[in-house]
Structures are given as structure tokens and as C-alpha cells.
Structure 1
Amino acid sequence: MLEKLDRIDYAIIGALQKNGRLTNLELAEAVGLSPSPCLRRMRKLELANIITGYSAQVDGERYGLPITVFMEIRLQSHTHDIVMGFEKAVTALDNVLDCYVVSGATDYLLRVVLADLNHYDRFLRREIQVIPGIASIDSNFAIDKIKHTTVYPRPD
């Protein structure tokens, strides 16, 4: 278990966030280690669940899901059954890429990707509005993407 990350750990994480397809040799060269210690450190970061996985980044428009909707959901009440039922239902929806519990006037913020406005209407009526316990739904459509990154900054 890692107790505290050092500059090499942050360098490994940063390099992998920018290019998750680096070979161990390329990663070792990028962070100034030999391959064996670099691989050990990377494995420790994975075992500590600091690095939680690897994936390909996809262009939603070229993929066929060009519409991004941010949905603000407010529940009728916060009973265990309503909260757990909502969270279980939303987790099962493939078009929901992110779901956050948030503070403020709403309870949840969802990031949803869709093919078009007809798909949005079907998704709203058949997937979201049928979830028990929802008091309100506000949808905000992304007009343009100014910045998107998966690279976390160093915390110091």
C-alpha cells in the first residue's frame, strides 16, 4: 500500500494519463527510471487503486453520439429506497457516462451522450422519467466543448 505519492509516482501517473499505451520501456525513460523499478511502481499504483484502469478516449461526434446533455435531477425525498433505486437505475443506463451526487438545488448531475434530439426524447421518457422518486429534471445541452481532459493536475 502506498502511503504518500512522490514526484516519480506523479510523473508515472502523468505520463500514463497523457498516453496510456506507453510501453514500460518508454514510461521508464520518460520518468527517469530503469524498466524494472518503473514497472514495480506502476503495479503499486494499480494495486493501491490510484491507477484504476486504462481506456481509449472517443470522439462522440465521430462515434455517432454527438449530443451531450447535462441533466440535473432532484429527488422527491431522500429515503434509502428512493436514493438506492435511483442510483441503481442510473448506473444501468449506458448513455449516462457520469453521475455525481451534488450539493445545491439538485441532488444529481448526469452527463449523458445521445445521437440526436429524438434519441433524447426517447431516453428522457423511457429511461429517466420512469425512475421512481424523481421530483424534477432539468436538461442543459452542451453547445460546444471548450476544454476536456482526463489528466489530473498534481495536487501540490
Structure 2
Amino acid sequence: MTRQTADQLDRIDLNILRILQEDGRLSNVELSRRVNLSPTPCLERVRRLERDGYIQGYAARLDPERLGRSLMAFIEVRLDRTSPDVFKIFADAIAPMDEIQECHMVAGGFDYLIKVRVADMAAYRAFLGDKLSSIPGVAQTHTYMVMEEVKSTAAIPVPVR
């Protein structure tokens, strides 16, 4: 099966993606009005975009301060060796950690870049010492504390046709 790309979508599909990315709670009736379709064909397109994997899900953006997760940090993680078994051990160990919002394997001077959100410095220290540093294979970490969040978005640029 070949993976579909945005090149295979028409203007209406792209508009649906753009609009739903801005407001995933929009009713089908309102969405169909905005893309100039009747509700039934609009809903069929949305379901196809979901089925084909263009739309991976819907979520609410929450306020981290109100939920006691106001401290954000980025952590560089270097492993003691780069082998498939160490990568798997690391990935399996971090998967259940609620503090980690994102984890990316990267090329360069370290192996992973992790974004974490915790309550405060004490919670960060506990996370680093009790969880992250105790994973077998973790050789070194470098932390960058976020002082101000200038831009935060999950939006993907959608081509305009």
C-alpha cells in the first residue's frame, strides 16, 4: 500500500483539513457550509480523511498552569551505545512516563530530544533522578529550562490550492 500525500487531495479536502485543524469541535453542518458542500458529502469526505490517516484524531488543548504542570524543559539524552536493543529499552521505558510530552530520536551530538512538563523544580529533579537517569543505557542528559513559551502550536501547514 502506498502512502497518500497532500498532492492527492483536492481543494475541498485541504480546506476541510485546515478548518478542522483550527476547530475540531466544529459541527458537520457548519463545516459543510464553510467548504460549500452539503452535509452528507462533507461528512463522507471527513470520514475518508480519517480512514486514510490524514486526520489522526481530535484533542482539546489544555492549560498546563491550571493543571499544575507549568514548568517545561527540553532534555537532550545521550545513550551509552546506539544499538537496536538499547533504543528499544529506552523507548519502552519512556512510553508510560506522563511527564514526557514529546520524544524524538535525532541525529547529531545526542540521541533523543525530550519535552517534559512538570509542576516545579522539585518535580523535575525527581523525574530526572528517579525516572529518566535510571533507564539502562542513558549515559548523559542536558536540560534546557523554558523561561517563556513564545509560540506553541500543533498545526501542520496545509497547502492552499
TM-score, with length taken from structure 1: 0.95
Asked if the contact 2:14/2:159 (under 8 Å) is kept, the reply is no
Answer yes or no: is 1:124 the counterpart of 2:124: no
Percent of aligned pairs sharing the same letter: 39
Unaligned 5+ runs, structure 2: none
Separation in structure 1 between the aligned mates of residue 106 and residue 9 of structure 2, nearest angstrom: 28
- For 1:11, the equivalent position in structure 2 comes to 15
1:21 pairs, out of 4, 19, 25, with 25
Answer yes or no: is 1:53 the counterpart of 2:57: yes
Asked if the contact 2:77/2:138 (under 8 Å) is kept, the reply is yes
1:80-131 superposed Cα distances (whole Å, 9 cap, x missing partner): 2211000111111111011111111111111100000000000001110110
- Deviation of the 1:155 alpha carbon: 4.1
Separation in structure 1 between the aligned mates of residue 137 and residue 88 of structure 2, nearest angstrom: 10
TM-score, with length taken from structure 2: 0.92
Separation in structure 1 between the aligned mates of residue 82 and residue 67 of structure 2, nearest angstrom: 37
- For 1:31, the equivalent position in structure 2 comes to 35
2:13 is paired with a residue of what secondary structure?
A: helix
Separation in structure 2 between the aligned mates of residue 95 and residue 120 of structure 1, nearest angstrom: 9
1:103 pairs, out of 104, 107, 112, with 107
Separation in structure 1 between the aligned mates of residue 76 and residue 10 of structure 2, nearest angstrom: 38
Q: Which runs of 4+ in 1 moved over 3 A?
A: none
Answer yes or no: is 1:65 the counterpart of 2:30: no
Separation in structure 1 between the aligned mates of residue 57 and residue 153 of structure 2, nearest angstrom: 16
- Deviation of the 1:45 alpha carbon: 0.7
Asked if the contact 1:2/1:44 (under 8 Å) is kept, the reply is no
- For 2:86, the equivalent position in structure 1 comes to 82
1:45-85 superposed Cα distances (whole Å, 9 cap, x missing partner): 10011100011101111221001110111111112221100
The alignment's C-alpha RMSD in Å is 1.4
Size of the alignment, in residue pairs? 156
1:103 is paired with a residue of what secondary structure?
A: coil
Separation in structure 1 between the aligned mates of residue 35 and residue 99 of structure 2, nearest angstrom: 37
